[in-house]
A and B are shown apart, each in its own frame.
Chain A
Amino acid sequence: MNLSAVWETLQSWTLAAAIRGDLAGTEWIFPIIETCHVIAVSVMVGSIAMVDARLLGIGCRSTAVRGVTTELLPVTWTAWGCAALLGSLLFISKAKVYAGNFDFRMKFVLMGLAGLNMVVFHRGVFRDVARWDTGEPPPAARIAGALSLAFWIGVVFFGRWTGFTT
């Protein structure tokens, strides 16, 4: 079974038809799920940006880096879980259209790069965080913060653009 057939199967589900608003009385399901998706993405990106700002030395400077991550990571992961679930529901409504859309694909490329950046950061410079926890982060941490910020801003841009091009 090729991917195109998978997308067609997904969007043939009754749930997908309901999200598209094809069934009577379901016209508002897509906007409601989309609104909840935007709220979840906002919290996720906002909380990540706060950690990035601390790494870049432009925000929360009076708080230790581990203090900021401990405070925000549960919020980030909860919001990520909600965004992923709601985003999947939106995706199945027009799976074939989204899968073939350049902006949608770019959004996922940037999310992948953001994830990779996070893994490299946690397995690299963050292991020595005890040394710079309360002071200025080293250049590698600043670069990770700048890349993360850039990738997530890109995710929001391509996410919004997807709405205009699908």
Chain B
Amino acid sequence: MFRDYAEGLSRTALSRALQDHGWIIPASQSIHILAVSVVFTSALLVNLRVMGVGRSGRTAPQLAGALLPWMWVGFGVLLLTGALQTIAEPVREFVTPVYWAKMILISFVVSLTAGYSRARLMGEGRSTRFVPRTLDIGFALLSTVIWVAIIACGRFIGYTSPLYV
């Protein structure tokens, strides 16, 4: 089902235009990696602070207040460059289950981060008195593992798609 859709997408004018310019994919992937740097480092630093790692005076909510806006900007760039790569090479992306695993993990971790930061890190009065509970440490560990898995899936799309084409 997805393969037919992918082949249809690869015949569109936009996909063909992207395929015709050989530099677009490497350039888009480079920008994608830079956005990964911003998103993953922001998430990792907040998660480490939630777990009590780090020696800065800033609390986890203070750090989240400074870094989460950058994280969402980075995530927007990820979506844009990711969409560009998918439109340019839809068959390569859609045929491998790793691509779909990545999409599911992204949806999950974004919902988890948005919900958790609203519930525990953002808002008046939370910035100075934050005492991590077991649930907070669970979130931080889960979020870190999922982001690592997303990056791994991203790298493995290219290695696994030849197995399915």
CB within 8 Å of A: which of B12-49?
26-27, 29-30, 33-34, 36-38, 40-42, 44-45
Chain A's interface: helix, strand, loop or mixed, by majority?
A: helix
A46 near B155 (CB under 8 angstroms)? no
* Complex alpha-carbon distance, A39 and B148, angstroms: 7
A12 within 8 Å of B (CB atoms): no
Q: How far does the alpha carbon of A66 sit from the alpha carbon of B159 in the complex, in Å? A: 42
CB-contact partner of A43 in B41, B67, B70, B155, under 8 A: B41
Q: Which residues of A, 80-105, contact B by the 8 Å Cβ criterion? A: none
> Is B56 part of the contact surface with A, judged by Cβ < 8 Å?
yes
Asked if B80 is at the interface (CB within 8 A of a chain A CB), the reply is: no
Q: Quote the shortest CB–CB distance from B150 to chain A (angstroms).
A: 10
User: Which of A113-121, A128-136, A153-161 interfaces with chain B?
Assistant: A153-161
In the bound assembly, the distance between CA atoms of A43 and B56 in angstroms comes to: 18
A42 B57 Cβ-Cβ under 8 A? no
Given A46-B37, A46-B41, A157-B30, A31 and B159 contact (CB-CB distance below 8 Å): yes
Interface of B is mostly: helix
A46 x B33 contact (CB < 8 A): no
Tell me whether B41 and A38 are in contact (CB under 8 A).
Answer: no
B40 x A42 contact (CB < 8 A): yes
CB distance A45 to B155 under 8 Å? no
Q: Is the CB of A43 within 8 A of B55?
A: no
Contact residues in B for A31 (Cβ distance below 8 Å):
155-156, 159
Q: Measured between alpha carbons, how far is A31 from B159 in the docked complex, in Å?
A: 7
State the CA gap A88–B42 with chains docked (Å). 27
Partner of B58, one of A34, A47, A71, A75: A71
Complex-state Cα separation, A45 to B70, whole angstroms: 14
Partner of A42, one of B54, B70, B151: B151
Question: Which residues does A use to contact B, with CB under 8 Å?
Answer: 28, 31, 34-35, 38-39, 41-43, 45-47, 49-50, 59-60, 62-63, 67, 70-72, 75, 153, 156-157, 160-161, 164
